[in-house]
Structure 1
Amino acid sequence: MTASRTDLLQWLNELLQINYTKVEQCGSGGAYCQILDSIYGDLPMIRVKMNAKHEYEYVGNYKIMQNVFKAKKIDKPIPVEKLVKCKMQDNLEFLQWMKRFWDQNYGGQGYDAVARRKGVALEAPATVAPITTSRSTTNPGLAATAGRAGGRTPISGYRSGSAQPNEAIQALQAQLKEMSTHLEGLEKERDFYFEKLRDIEILVQQQVEALEADGKDDATLRDIQKILYSTEEGFEVPEGTTVDEEETF
């Protein structure tokens, strides 16, 4: 029988000594990696980001999983693009498969999940995009300050010794720090996907050049190049133009 969400979460939390409340939280990939580690005991857990907060970190965890699947000859596709979106149904189906695989392959040996994580304290992953858009929720001091904007008290009319201006500054500083952290994460994610596109560009170019050397052509490869080199205005690199290796698109 297929395990329910409640049963799966209970099993997962007991096995890994975590406190997940939703199946969607498995979408970060860390829990899936450690389930495999409980079976084989040889995953590079030091490289697994159990507290991953950004999609590029999720993808990194799944790369580790894919390497394990390949090394152990596990014939099961990993739908990474779906899982990283932290949707309930996709992660429920994959976690059900992981539970069946664990039941069939776990040898009953003891497993110290916390020790394998080097004692890293776990925060349950978010099931939505990590960027917070509500300032009133993140920084209540700002909300309180904003609420007084239309009042009768002038900006400079606060009582002597009031802590409100200091609280507002601290709230703004906290917001700035949070935004900087999110920006850094977005930049890393941008660079991660840019490198993927760059690898595709080079591979396609090599294939096109090899075909040209044999007097052949491939329409699909040409179409891929047009997509890679197109811009928002619809401009496309003319056929026969070689893109310099240092150029970006």
Structure 2
Amino acid sequence: MTSRADLLLWLNELLQINYTKVEQCGSGAAYCQVLDSIYGDVPMTRVKMGAKHEYEFIANFKVMQNVFKSKKIDKPIPVEKLVKCKMQDNLEFLQWIKRFWDQNYGGQGYDPVARRKGAPTDTPATIAPLSTGNSRAGGLNVGASRAGGRTPISGHRSGSTQPNEAVQHLQAQLKEMGGHLEGLEKERDFYFEKLREIEIMVQEQLEPERTPDDPTLLKIQAILYSTEDGFEVPEGGAIVDEEEETF
């Protein structure tokens, strides 16, 4: 099997990007452009090369799934695993992509920058959509140990720049967390709108003059209005009138 180093070297040379870890392929952007190097007709304007959040990763993989369908490529895409940016899952899929490219690339010239119309090639600052451990910058613990040790931050040596470094690191960490929060809010709103559209459609179909006894629609409605254990529905019904809803 091709090693990680060889795969990254091939990928970076083919697409003129600067990936440093296989996990970064979890954004789906590189996979899409590898396919474009073969077929030349992937809608690269819909591929976000600098995607940083999971909902953006999923959108990239939707483009890829459409390509698989149109080209009749019989290979399941484990999207739910790949977007988590785990090394093993993306390594296995990248190895398959490389074999597929070797078998199907015709040797034609390919200009990756032109094909993505100058879209930024900078890789995301973080590997995973939402870091739960140490980030690429090292996490708070690393910053504390670097600026701490035997010399407390509040009692730094004359001429030491460690306190400034610690503050800059914390500011960068705060900025990164703010970006994650913004992405999560967008992702929440994205899926909420989908659920709201489904809810409206179900309500319309369950009007008395239509098919109020449709079991499938009733099950969908039950799922939409189900609550978690310990949550009590206020008196007056589970459904709030649309005119009274506030967000």
Q: Does 2:109 correspond to 1:110?
A: yes
Q: Does 2:228 correspond to 1:228?
A: no
* 1:148 aligned residue: 152
State the secondary structure of the residue aligned to 2:77. coil
Shift of 1:125: 7.0
Per-residue CA deviations over 1:173-209 (Å, capped at 9, x if unaligned) read 4443333222212211222222333344344445545
Unaligned runs of 5+ in 2: none
* 1:191 aligned residue: 189
Shift of 1:28: 1.0
Q: Are the equivalent residues in 1 in contact too, given 2:144–2:166 (CA < 8 A)?
A: no
Per-residue CA deviations over 1:111-163 (Å, capped at 9, x if unaligned) read 122333316333267443443663243x55994499627xxxxx7x8899987
- In 2, Cα distance between the equivalents of 1:27 and 1:8? 14
Q: CA RMSD in A?
A: 4.0
Unaligned runs of 5+ in 1: 150-154
Task: Summarize the Cα distance change of 1:247–1:83 in structure 2 as closer, same or farther, 3 Å threshold.
Answer: farther
* 2:128 aligned residue: 128
Task: Summarize the Cα distance change of 1:202–1:99 in structure 2 as closer, same or farther, 3 Å threshold.
Answer: farther
TM (norm. structure 2) is 0.71
State the secondary structure of the residue aligned to 2:52. coil
- In 1, Cα distance between the equivalents of 2:238 and 2:185? 33
- In 2, Cα distance between the equivalents of 1:186 and 1:200? 21
- In 2, Cα distance between the equivalents of 1:199 and 1:230? 17
State the secondary structure of the residue aligned to 2:61. helix
Q: Are the equivalent residues in 1 in contact too, given 2:29–2:60 (CA < 8 A)?
A: yes
Q: Are the equivalent residues in 2 in contact too, given 1:39–1:107 (CA < 8 A)?
A: yes
Alignment: residue pair count: 238
* 1:33 aligned residue: 32
Which residue identity is paired with 1:148? P
- In 2, Cα distance between the equivalents of 1:160 and 1:96? 53
Aligned pairs for 1:73-222 within 5 A: 73-117=72-116, 118=118, 120-123=120-123, 126-131=126-131, 134-137=139-142, 139=143, 143-144=147-148, 148=152, 170-209=168-207, 213-214=210-211, 216-218=213-215, 220-222=216-218
